[in-house]
Chain A
Amino acid sequence: MGATAAVSDRGVFGVEVHRPRTVDEALHLRGQHPDAPYVAGGTWVMRAPQRGEALPAHAILLNGVAGLDHASIDGTCELGALVTLAHIAAVTRGAGDLQALTEASSLAATPALRRMITLGGSLAADAFWASDIVPALLCLDAEIVRQGDLITGVRISRTGKASCHERLTWRSGGEYSVASVSIARAGDSLRIAIGSVEACPRRWTELEDAAGSGPMTPERLRDLARSLVDDLDAVSAPGIPADYRRTVLPEVVARATARIA
């Protein structure tokens, strides 16, 4: 019973759940309860106690909201906020320009979690430093689509040539990465994003600028990355000090570059 009791704490019982059917209803409820988080797959909000955070008094459950589960890559890539990582991986598989998205969504977390974690939840998770999907979206220059304060999906112009997502982990998966790099090649230039290094994933524009339109070889990108890592505000975690992340990041950059060169 001990393990079950951990789930059945008063926290989850104390949340008043609202279940809108439309985006307008969801926005109206948010107006009434400004501190209520939107809940999609549930994997972020349900783990609030494990992060040392209190569960909210109100929550707005989105799984019944119509029109947020579309997924299409014809012409423009359009993904609704309720699309899961597993669905993203399935719908983008085989599209070379979107490969960073395919790999990020098929390598993050675990098979069961990938069927729960949604695109919208991944974007709304507050400062989730180890996200894989966010660096992939950043390197693809994805546009977040909103109605009011609700993320309803993303749109990606398919102008790139190739992309990939490289992540360094202790094991093959099922864990946060030590460092991840998403790279997209568009013409002569690269868009590079990093995750699991700083407090929040971001485009590594300093490296993009340094790379310019010069040769995109793994060796050159590794050397450029090495010259810039000391400026990164890397995070420490048990077993993974900040210096280690800075040390391995250039190698992850080189591996990713080699795959799209």
Chain B
Amino acid sequence: MKPELVALDVNGDVRYVPITGLQSLADVLRQEVHLTSVKVGCAEGYCGSCTVLLDGEPVVSCLMPAIACEGREVRTVDEPGELSGLQADLQRELCESDAVQCGMCIPGIVTLMSALIHQGEIRSAADISPALVGSICRCSGYARIVDAVERVRAAHAGALHREGSS
């Protein structure tokens, strides 16, 4: 099958990348755009390490056909875009609280948590663990990750509330 040159908006840069058949978005981001922050763990949608934002919504890029992303906004943890404050703070807090061990799951967790906090799906500490059901971490036991996410959520709660009511 011949590859097709397709325009992808990745982190604000529109670039033409060769996409073949049902090649996954994760594969294209890693092999063609060289964004190795997109981790491929299970390759069947359950571990969450490949989570990216597609038009602002978190998706598992290992199951997303890249060809379906033409003309849509793909955002990875490398270029935070409008969520920059939230994503940057999550990354910093996860590092400073020693919540990162092997690091395989972290880019996906940062992407997912930033989107869910921004969208108001995570409104309290109690919402964090259920939201992590699709983010598999085999190192940390989750406690430090959950605590770090909660600290960032609480710190941003006022700003997000004002944004939502304006």
Q: Does B134 sit within 8 A of A, measured CB to CB?
A: yes
Q: Are B31 and A4 closer than 8 Å at their CB atoms?
A: yes
Closest Cβ neighbor of B67 among chain A residues: A17
- In the assembled complex, which residues on chain B have CB atoms less than 8 Å from the CB atom of A15? 1, 21-22
Distance (Å) between the CB of A128 and the closest chain B CB?
A: 14
Separation of A8 and B18 alpha carbons in the complex (Å): 14
Closest Cβ neighbor of B52 among chain A residues: A112
Known: A46-B65, A173-B133. A113 touches B20 (CB 8 A): no
Separation of A259 and B27 alpha carbons in the complex (Å): 45
Q: Are B67 and A19 closer than 8 Å at their CB atoms?
A: yes
Stretch at the interface among A37-45, A159-167, A211-219, A220-228: A37-45
Q: Are A4 and B44 closer than 8 Å at their CB atoms?
A: no
Q: Does B60 sit within 8 A of A, measured CB to CB?
A: yes
Q: Are B63 and A46 closer than 8 Å at their CB atoms?
A: yes
Mark B115-140 against chain A: 1 for CB-CB distance below 8 A, else 0. Answer: 01000010000000111011100000
- In the assembled complex, which residues on chain A have CB atoms less than 8 Å from the CB atom of B116? 111
Closest Cβ neighbor of B57 among chain A residues: A115
Q: Does B26 sit within 8 A of A, measured CB to CB?
A: yes
Place the interface of chain B in its size category. Answer: 35 or more
Stretch at the interface among A55-63, A239-247, A250-258: A55-63
- In the assembled complex, which residues on chain A have CB atoms less than 8 Å from the CB atom of B95? none
Separation of A12 and B31 alpha carbons in the complex (Å): 15
Separation of A50 and B67 alpha carbons in the complex (Å): 21
Q: Are B21 and A14 closer than 8 Å at their CB atoms?
A: yes
Q: Are A42 and B65 closer than 8 Å at their CB atoms?
A: yes
State the interface size on chain A (CB cutoff 8 A): 37
Q: Does B76 sit within 8 A of A, measured CB to CB?
A: no
- In the assembled complex, which residues on chain B have CB atoms less than 8 Å from the CB atom of A86? 57
Q: Does B142 sit within 8 A of A, measured CB to CB?
A: no
Separation of A6 and B27 alpha carbons in the complex (Å): 10
Q: Does B161 sit within 8 A of A, measured CB to CB?
A: no
Separation of A6 and B135 alpha carbons in the complex (Å): 19
Known: A12-B22, A12-B23, A55-B22. A111 touches B67 (CB 8 A): no
Q: Are B133 and A7 closer than 8 Å at their CB atoms?
A: no
Q: Are A111 and B131 closer than 8 Å at their CB atoms?
A: yes
Q: Are B40 and A42 closer than 8 Å at their CB atoms?
A: no
Separation of A63 and B65 alpha carbons in the complex (Å): 11
Separation of A61 and B64 alpha carbons in the complex (Å): 12
Q: Are B130 and A46 closer than 8 Å at their CB atoms?
A: no
Within 8 A of A (CB), among B88-124: 112, 116, 121
Within 8 A of B (CB), among A142-166: none
Separation of A110 and B45 alpha carbons in the complex (Å): 9
A7-B40, A17-B22, A112-B134 given; name 16 further pairs at CB < 8 Å.
A12-B20, A12-B21, A12-B22, A14-B1, A15-B1, A15-B22, A39-B65, A42-B22, A42-B65, A46-B22, A46-B24, A59-B22, A110-B60, A112-B112, A115-B59, A173-B133
- Residues of A with Cβ closer than 8 Å to B? 3-4, 6-8, 12-17, 19, 39, 41-43, 45-47, 50, 55, 59, 61, 63, 86, 109-113, 115-116, 171-175
- Residues of B with Cβ closer than 8 Å to A? 1, 20-24, 26-27, 30-31, 39-41, 43-46, 48, 51, 57-60, 62-65, 67-68, 112, 116, 121, 129-131, 133-135
